[in-house]
Structure 1
């Protein structure tokens, strides 16, 4: 090592120590400058002033300082006529699939109308007199998570009733990759409205642009759609979520495992609803050779959980630390192989598994004994086709 190099090295160390030079400063600055759409009021308040608006939101509609978007808008003199609530309700405390009642927000006195149950799509009379409906919900980025379906129906109703849709964008905790079987049209439902893979790699704002641009709304109508983008957002970075998106996704661990474990909801295997670790464990009374034991009981977000009171044998993934950038089918395949009489009883008789998967192909592949590698290879062509569609709507660094 020559003297000149030693001097330069010592000088660099001194500069770093004194704070004059920081090799990570640009990364830190980027994180400090990150803002959700909700935290960019300078972009959306001018669009709302003097307008009569509705808002679709829930407990996740928070600004950086934890102020709720409804409270912020009301404080700033925005005329909110109605609040629409998605699955799990305005406060996010209803069970999955539970009917959510209409009501009134105690804090603001604004009427709340549920967009879950029989009234998934806003009715003309519910939109009457509105200029704009603002949408601000933290999504999970998975096809069978219903907030993208609520956005779709909202856009459709907006297009049909000449009401503008304004979306405040938020991070997707499964962004930067696509994976899973692509839904086939025959299996369209509220847990899968479009021909996209399980993980589609778009923020909810980008997803809405895709639905509009591809004319996937009923009869090909297109909504007047305005997106308030995030600032300094990167698709492959993971961002802290300010509040749990639903009762049974309480933390980053459950959200990370959700795309892989949700398939169990179409089987006789519990994913831990009715425990402290939903979507972090799985098991059933009929997989007795598996090591972990738990018993689902009534719990927050699971008043009558699947397999309530029954001792289940399975696997505990609560310490699983890998950031999943792909679906893991090994847990599903393992449970099937360990299940007593799997060909007769493993999948629910109503074949909800097929609805989640988006076709009957995945179920048939598991029954026939195909490996994860073989199953994933069968998705390749469909994923390549979807990737081309997706690329037209990506607005953040991929």
Structure 2
């Protein structure tokens, strides 16, 4: 009898585990297809918007959903445009649907774009870093929907950097498409959780509130790692690059190359004047970067290719390179203020403050953010 009880317990244990396998928001069609009945749908999607090996556009069209257009963010519908490159309007060859750029003449859907739309469905894989632009696109979609009386449905996906929170919180006097929200560099939220925070904290223009519906995932929590099945953008091709992105991304506001124009973007760093470097590379134009920083110059630095990067936000490498290259008049570009979210960060590094001293200045606002974040969690938090 005891053996039967043991076997039954094992069966139940494994059965429960199976029941908790990851189910993306997009896969939970029973939760959002009823909301699309009789409605004209715009899909805000890209190459990551796939469930069961089929793109969401194709899935919904095949099910008779009245999809009237696709709206494409940075990198375009197929995710092939280089970082920062203007995306043009086009047409989907398979479905014939118009693909409207919201990373071209405008980053915010216009009233004209929404005239024939009732509901906007957002389904894009994010990487959990404030300066990654898909969350800014989501913000503008919500804002435009609120101003034009449309509903927004966010289909949630895992955050591959969702197991920690770190970095400076954006100051009020620093604002751009890569610095839209008063959140830290690593915000620790899924797009669905962040959408609720944006909506309820009054961060949309004029304090507007979007008619928002989030479709949560099943079988995921913030302690889990997540390997992205499709690269979210041309220069984040590996899990390792995504893990390193929060820390190495700050180098984009400096003269140091992060490997754009190589086979290993965000897995290598270097500069011609970094003499301690033992790894060498020469950036050249490629599909992911037409005009890479340090193009044609031999860079000396470090490679993290093949390593298992630790999920963390570290200033170690930035401080090391700044110390070695030294010239404060040329090391940083103005973009560093937007990436760090504060005008103080550049000054702190240039003043020779240590990692610990700089971090101490973040803590009051970071602690306040952490308390705010807990109000919007849809999943069990990391410990």
Q: Which moved more, 1:54-63 or 1:235-244?
A: 235-244
Deviations 1:337-376 (A, max 9, x none): 121x42121112xx11111111121111111111212211
Partner of 1:332: 318
Q: Secondary structure at the match of 2:122?
A: strand
The residue matched to 1:181 in structure 2 has which SS? strand
1:267-286 alignment to 2 at 5 Å? 267-286=254-273
Given that 1:66 and 1:242 are in contact with CA atoms closer than 8 Å, whether structure 2 keeps it comes out as no
Q: How does 1:108-147 map to 2 (within 5 A)?
A: 108-147=95-134
* Contact preservation (8 Å) 1:290, 1:338: no
Q: Secondary structure at the match of 1:56?
A: strand
TM-score (norm 2): 0.95
**2:331 corresponding residue in structure 1:** 346
Find out whether 1:372 has 2:332 as its counterpart.
no
**1:137 CA displacement:** 0.1
Of 217, 235, 239, which residue of structure 2 is paired with 1:252?
239
User: Mapping of 1:118-267 within 5 angstroms?
Assistant: 118-267=105-254
Q: How far apart, CA to CA, are the structure 1 residues paired with 2:353 and 2:47?
A: 41
TM-score of the pair, normalised by structure 1:
0.92
Partners of 2:152 and 2:120 lie apart in 1 by 5
| Residue of structure 2 equivalent to 1:21 | 10
Q: Report whether the alignment pairs 1:321 with 2:304.
A: no
Q: For each residue in 1:153-205, what CA deviation from the matched residue of structure 2 results, as whole angstroms up to 9, or x when unmatched?
A: 11110000001000100000111321000111111110010111001111001
- Kindly state the Cα deviation for residue 28 of structure 1 after the two structures are TM-superposed: 4.0
Say if 1:343 and 1:367, in contact at 8 Å, map to a contact too.
yes
Secondary structure at 1:282 match in 2:
strand
Distance in 1 (alpha carbons) for counterparts of 2:12 and 2:28: 29
Closer/same/farther in 2, CA of residues 26 and 263 from structure 1, 3 Å limit: farther
SS of 1:249 mapped into structure 2: coil
Alignment equivalent of 2:45, drawn from 48, 51, 57: 57
* Contact residue 75 and residue 83 of structure 2 kept, 8 A: yes
Aligned residues: 379
Equivalent in 371, 374, 380 of residue 388 of structure 1: 371
CA drift at 1:300:
2.4
The CA distance in 1 between the partners of 2:190 and 2:359, in whole Å, is 24
Q: Which one is further off, 245-254 or 312-321?
A: 312-321
- Partners of 2:341 and 2:115 lie apart in 1 by 35
Q: Which runs of no fewer than 5 residues in structure 2 stay unpaired?
A: none
- Distance (whole Å) between structure 2 residues aligned to residue 338 and residue 178 of structure 1: 29
Segments of 5+ residues of structure 1 without an aligned counterpart are 1-7
Per-residue CA deviations over 1:188-223 (Å, capped at 9, x if unaligned) read 110010111001111001101000000100000101
Q: Does the 8 Å contact 2:81/2:288 carry over to 1?
A: yes
What is the CA distance between 1:118 and its match in structure 2? 2.7
- What are the superposed Cα offsets for residues 15-73 of structure 1, whole Å, 9 maximum, x if unpaired? 78xx98379737842553x101011111111111221110100000010x211000000
**Aligned residue for 2:341?**
358
